Amino acid sequence: MVDFNFLFLSLAAAPIFTGKKSFFSAKGRQRCIIEGSYAFEANSMISILPQGFNDFHCKAGACRHTCCQKWEIDIDDDTADYYRGLKTPLGKKIQDHMEKGPDGWHFKLTDKGFCALLRTDGLCEVITALGEDKLCDICTVHPRFFTYVDEFILCGTGLCCEASCELLLAPHEPLTFTEEDTAFIYTFKELLDFMGFSLPESLTHYAPLFSSKSCQSILADLMITEPIDEAWTEEIRSLQGMIPALLEKVASYEKTYDPISFDRIYQFIFYRQLDKVEAYGLDAVRAYARRSTDFIFMETALHGNLEEALRRWSEQIEYDTDNVDWLLERL
């Protein structure tokens, strides 16, 4: 079993950091574990954990949307050296599917876009044969992320993972955040205040407010983002062609939706991008969270599956940092 407390402390323990480190990329798409720019002493860091962070567990073979596909999985140098030294049939298989590019080693995907080490039962051959401690860094940490804002480390689990979506939506109560060292619990508004961000209470909550113009604007922006697959483009194009019917679905859903769940979604999306405030401003980050939640609301109103609408949005937007930046620039 991987000790994530030790791993997290290892990430936070170096004395001074600068720049940006990404562990997972594929032609512009990145699963960023450490994001943002920072330069400060490690012992001054304040770690923030969203509700449920320490309860995350991978669903492994029970997952319907494996993270072992579509992405080019980077392999850190130490693990690459270990894999290359294996003198076993599994070692040969791993080596046959390793490739070195300009940025280092990564796994080559199969023709269907899967990691070659993913078994048909959804389990990983490395874990089953060698143990979790023999995974490369990104496979060990994913979907956890750690973003840095001044002296704060903002922790979380990415919403492209269905287990993360389930974890976020399961509690029927306001989302809270815990300061790790003191165990002090904050609401989202209190956390923003603590971090020095000034925002009225009303703007820290989500309430649906749709019009034909707002729907068209959101969909137009999403249409221009780099698509993860053709199905995403087809879905956006379909929504653009049915605005009146979509607004009817939205109006009907507004009568039955769960405000607490959408508050949690909005606040978590907002929270994850707080490291972008310096570059784009608080209003832009808030608008990004608002419009993203609006899209998830539309998709849920139309298809009736909130968890999947959330996961699919994250897979397309949050896990391509170019898409996030592009949307923020528009705001």
What is the full DSSP assignment across 233-263? HHHHHHHHTTHHHHHHHHHHHTTT--HHHHH
Predicted pLDDT of residue 72 = 77
Q: How many CB atoms lie within 10 A of CB 109?
A: 20
| Digit-coded pLDDT (tens) for 164-187 | 999 999 999 999 999 999 999 999
pLDDT band at 77; cut points 50, 70, 90: very high
CA-nearest of 154, 142, 192, 170 to 265 is: 170
Q: Is the pLDDT of residue 272 over 90?
A: yes
Sign, Cα dihedral of 194, 199, 202, 207: negative
Predicted pLDDT of residue 164 = 94
Contact partners, residue 128, CB within 8 Å, separation at least 6: 119
Predicted pLDDT of residue 154 = 97
Straight-line distance from the first to the last Cα atom of the chain, in angstroms, rounded to the nearest whole number:
43
Tokens of 325: 């930046």
Q: Where are the beta strands (DSSP E) in the chain?
A: 24-26, 29-31, 34-35, 46-50, 74-75, 98-101, 104-107, 144-149, 152-157, 176-179, 184-187
pTM for the model: 0.83
Query: Looking at 32-46, 56-70, 127-141, 194-208, which range is the least confident one?
Result: 32-46
Which amino acid is located at 65 in the chain? H
Which amino acid is located at 128 in the chain? T
- Alpha carbons 31 and 25: distance in angstroms, whole number: 6
CA-nearest of 141, 109, 110 to 24 is: 141
CA-nearest of 188, 219, 204 to 294 is: 219
CA-nearest of 135, 157, 160, 130 to 70 is: 160
If you average pLDDT over each of 63-67, 138-142, 226-230, which comes out highest?
226-230
- Alpha carbons 162 and 70: distance in angstroms, whole number: 16
Predicted pLDDT of residue 10 = 36
Facing residues of 153 across strands? 47, 148
At residue 155, φ and ψ (nearest 5 deg) are: -100, 160
Q: Average pLDDT of 33-55?
A: 67
pLDDT band at 43; cut points 50, 70, 90: low
Q: In residues, how long is the chain?
A: 331
Query: Looking at 58-62, 88-92, 146-150, 162-166, which range is the least confident one?
Result: 58-62
Q: What is the dihedral of CA 315, 51, 58, 322, to 10 degrees?
A: 20
Predicted pLDDT of residue 30 = 36
| Digit-coded pLDDT (tens) for 214-256 | 999 999 999 999 998 899 999 999 999 999 999 999 999 999 9
Q: Is the pLDDT of residue 17 over 50?
A: no
Q: Average pLDDT of 310-318?
A: 95
Burial of 186 (0-12, 13-18, 19+ CB in 10 A): middle
Contact partners, residue 234, CB within 8 Å, separation at least 6: none
- Alpha carbons 31 and 227: distance in angstroms, whole number: 15
| Digit-coded pLDDT (tens) for 274-300 | 999 999 999 999 999 999 999 999 999
DSSP structure class, residue 118? B
